[in-house]
């Protein structure tokens, strides 16, 4: 089965492991890559999505057709390099029209070595992902339009998938560093935090820069440690609180070394602990719960989440293909948030200590400020623990 969105010769091909082929126009880098295919429903933020380390091992299908029309700017990078392996869009990117832009999306992708394909029926592709689950795919871009279809399908079938894979090691920092940049504010932009603050150790499983900015804006003096940091590494910095960041891959695989560290912190201290996304899953595992692979995950900026303790509904940004099994939560761990799309777990807290986490991204501002209270809660818990 094939899909041709243009009458001209295709220069890119997306091959699914089941043999389905989608042809289109390639842009960005040339070559071939394999990954798991997901879809994202956000209407803005394509650059932030491509540079979110949580997308390692994935190609992103954008359901919103206008991708690339605002160009790119270094201010919007969530990491030094894109983590997503490639992108799929309906319409080829147009010339950017935005006062902040410094480059076109196509050139930016080319410089960063990421392949993209345009001209696809993304509605049909998204339906297939929802019905059949996130497929393994191979994406090729060749300006001459020469494709070895059998080899592409074989490459898609050979992709190992995300289950059992610890991808946090691939995206984490190599050494510790300090962070003081706060959230963007008009007209100054990004300003540094000054003065004393709560000492926070942030474990980098694939941390987005804007999460660190939100911590700084909440009055935190942030030191970032690699994903493999031990409890001794954390405690040596005498922190007031521990933050567990977002990240990619199978939480059970990352948990093999991350969970023992978190458990020791929980056993030996009473410091506040706050986790987001993969950090939420790491905390849940440390508290005794399980995680499971989802059919196609949650990826977008329009996900309604209900706070079960207040009744408040937040519009959130999400990016996860694994979820905490709420049925596995121990008796002393309370489920605090659930997705109103499918009822899956979106937040937990310990019953007897200031330890909590959420599955969604409170820093991503889809609400736009529905979830910033979580960073303020973290700062308040540290202040009360002093």
Q: What is the architecture of the domain spanning 12-158?
A: 3-Layer(bba) Sandwich (3.50)
- What is the predicted pLDDT for the residue at 4? 40
Residue 345: closest CA among 330, 334, 353, 332: 334
Residue 91: closest CA among 67, 116, 115, 61: 67
Q: Do domains 12-158 and 168-385 have the same CATH topology?
A: no
- What is the predicted pLDDT for the residue at 211? 97
361 is an active site residue: yes
277 is an active site residue: yes
CA gap 94, 73 in Å, rounded: 16
The structure tokens 């991204």 sit at 361
- What is the predicted pLDDT for the residue at 370? 86
- Contact yes or no for 94/73 (Cβ under 8 A): no
pLDDT, mean of each 10-residue run, the chain (386 residues): 55 98 98 98 96 98 96 96 97 93 98 97 96 97 97 98 98 98 92 96 98 97 98 98 98 98 98 98 98 97 96 96 98 98 98 97 87 96 92
CATH domain 168-385 topology: Rossmann fold (3.40.50)
- What is the predicted pLDDT for the residue at 7? 47
320 is an active site residue: no
Domain positions in the chain are 12-158, 168-385
Q: Could you tell me the two tokens for 284? A: 């849940």
SS3 state of residue 133 = coil
- What is the predicted pLDDT for the residue at 263? 98
- Contact yes or no for 10/104 (Cβ under 8 A): no
- What is the predicted pLDDT for the residue at 313? 96
How long a stretch of residues is the chain? 386
- Contact yes or no for 87/60 (Cβ under 8 A): yes
- Contact yes or no for 169/192 (Cβ under 8 A): no
SS3 state of residue 200 = strand
Burial class (CB in 10 A: 0-12, 13-18, 19+), 148: middle
- What is the predicted pLDDT for the residue at 2? 40
pLDDT per residue as tens digits for the range 104-116: 999 999 999 999 9
> Among residues 38, 214, 220, 277, which one is catalytic?
277
Long-range contacts of 161-166 (CB under 8 A, 24+ apart): 161/36, 161/136, 162/36, 162/57, 162/58, 162/248, 162/249, 162/250, 162/293, 162/321, 163/250, 163/293, 164/250, 164/252, 164/253, 165/57, 165/249, 165/250, 165/253, 166/249, 166/250, 166/253, 166/254, 166/256
CA gap 98, 42 in Å, rounded: 19
């Amino acid at each position: 089965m094939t899909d041709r969105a243009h009458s001209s010769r295709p220069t890119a091909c997306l091959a699914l492991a089941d043999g389905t082929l989608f042809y289109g126009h390639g842009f960005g880098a040339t070559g071939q890559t394999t990954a798991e295919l997901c879809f994202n429903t956000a209407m803005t933020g394509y650059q932030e999505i491509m540079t979110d380390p949580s997308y390692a091992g994935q190609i992103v299908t954008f359901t919103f057709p206008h991708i690339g029309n605002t160009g790119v700017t270094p201010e919007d990078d969530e990491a030094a390099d894109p983590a997503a392996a490639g992108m799929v869009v309906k319409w080829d990117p147009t010339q950017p029209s935005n006062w902040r832009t410094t480059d076109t999306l196509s050139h930016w992708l080319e410089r960063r070595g990421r392949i993209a394909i345009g001209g696809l029926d993304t509605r049909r592709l998204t339906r297939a992902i929802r019905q059949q689950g996130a497929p393994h795919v191979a994406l090729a871009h060749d300006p001459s339009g020469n494709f070895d279809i059998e080899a592409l399908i074989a490459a898609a079938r050979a992709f190992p998938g995300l289950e059992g894979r610890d991808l946090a090691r691939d995206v984490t920092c190599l050494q510790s560093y300090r962070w003081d940049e706060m959230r963007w504010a008009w007209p100054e932009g990004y300003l540094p935090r000054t003065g004393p603050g709560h000492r926070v150790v942030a474990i980098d499983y694939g941390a987005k820069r804007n999460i660190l900015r939100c911590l700084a804006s909440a009055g935190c003096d942030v030191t970032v440690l690699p994903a493999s940091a031990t409890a001794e590494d954390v405690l040596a910095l005498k922190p007031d609180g521990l933050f567990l960041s977002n990240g990619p891959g199978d939480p059970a695989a990352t948990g093999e070394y991350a969970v023992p560290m978190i458990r020791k912190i929980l056993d030996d201290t009473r410091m506040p602990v706050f986790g987001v996304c993969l950090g939420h899953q790491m905390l849940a595992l440390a508290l005794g719960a399980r995680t499971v692979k989802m059919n196609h995950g949650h990826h977008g900026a329009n996900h309604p989440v209900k706070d079960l303790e207040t009744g408040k509904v937040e519009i959130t940004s999400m990016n996860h293909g694994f979820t905490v099994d709420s049925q596995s939560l121990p008796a002393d761990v309370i489920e605090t948030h659930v997705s109103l799309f499918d009822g899956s777990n979106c937040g937990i807290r310990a019953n007897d200590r200031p330890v909590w986490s959420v599955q969604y991204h409170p820093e991503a501002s889809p609400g736009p400020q529905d979830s910033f209270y979580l960073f303020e809660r973290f700062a308040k818990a540290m202040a009360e623990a002093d």
